[in-house]
Amino acid sequence: MIISIETSASDLSLTLLNKESIISHISIPFNNELSEIIVPTVKMFLKDNFISFDDISFLAVGCGPGGFTGIRAIISTALGITVSKSHIKSIGINSLAGLAMSALQEAKILKVKYVISSIDSKKDDLFLQLFKINYTKNKLLPIAAINDIDTLKIEKLNNYFKVNNLALKEVLFVGHQSNIAKNIIENLKVSINSTQQPDSLGVGKLASRLISNKININKTTYAFDKFKPIYARSVQIN
């Protein structure tokens, strides 16, 4: 089984999966006490599902970008778990890729080619990344990162489309400031996801796909076999 954890936004999110089937999912708001509640929450989550760490094969973690404190706390906890439970394998996931994965089915229904994921940087701008949807049946990866993580003020979203040669009808926008993005770009397709923030569901689904297809995760550009924080920030905001 796989347990995935995400805290890039304001909630601590946990998902338990068996292959690609979701067994259980919770999302808990937190303030400044995250480092204190992660381990007890994970243990209670497993207990509520009548399992222990001994039943877990993979631990998938959203490694950012996002809030510095949350990323540091979750990675420290994840490292502690894998050290004490050496049979559990590590998968670090770019949270923007996890967010794109959460909108994958919606994107396919809309028949768009790309998903733009957006996470609040906490510095009056956004972390953005562009992903292409793989529709080809023999493609094992559901999405592919088209560019690196960028920082952008929402007012400059039109310029992001121009720089990346994106046609409006080809894109689904998901994440932070979606409503503002829709106001800035008329007829922009915006995800109807209720949370519009990184969640362990997307992280877990992406990790599960990588595991089940035996993909070399270090060749994906958005997944890694170790937990490392992503504190992405351009030298100068666009």
Average pLDDT over residues 117-127: 90
Per-residue pLDDT band for 99 (boundaries 50, 70, 90) equals very high
Per-residue pLDDT band for 19 (boundaries 50, 70, 90) equals confident
Per-residue pLDDT band for 138 (boundaries 50, 70, 90) equals low
**H helix runs in 116-169, sequence order:** 157-163
**H helix runs in the chain, sequence order:** 34-48, 68-84, 95-102, 104-110, 157-163, 178-184, 200-212
pLDDT higher than threshold 60 for residue 234: no
Average pLDDT value for the chain: 91
Phi, psi dihedrals of residue 166, rounded to the nearest 5°: -100, 130
* 227 vs 218, residue with greater confidence: 227
What's the pLDDT score for residue 152?
93
Per-residue pLDDT band for 235 (boundaries 50, 70, 90) equals very low
What interhelical angle do 200-212 and 95-102 show, nearest 10? 90
What's the pLDDT score for residue 232?
61
What's the pLDDT score for residue 139?
66
Question: Which domains does the chain possess?
Answer: 2-95+198-224 (3.30.420.40), 96-190 (3.30.420.200)
Task: Kindly report, residue by residue over 21-42, the tens digit of the pLDDT.
Answer: 999 999 998 877 888 899 999 9
pTM above 0.85, yes or no: yes
Strand, coil or helix: what is 234? Answer: coil
Q: Give the side-chain half-sphere CA count within 13 A for 42.
A: 23
Question: Could you tell me which residues come within 8 angstroms of residue 127 by beta carbon, excluding any fewer than 6 positions away?
Answer: 65, 66, 96, 118, 119, 120, 121, 149, 150, 151, 232
Place of tokens 């310029």: 159
Task: Kindly report, residue by residue over 59-88, the tens digit of the pLDDT.
Answer: 999 999 987 888 889 999 999 999 999 999
What's the pLDDT score for residue 68?
80
Per-residue pLDDT band for 223 (boundaries 50, 70, 90) equals very high
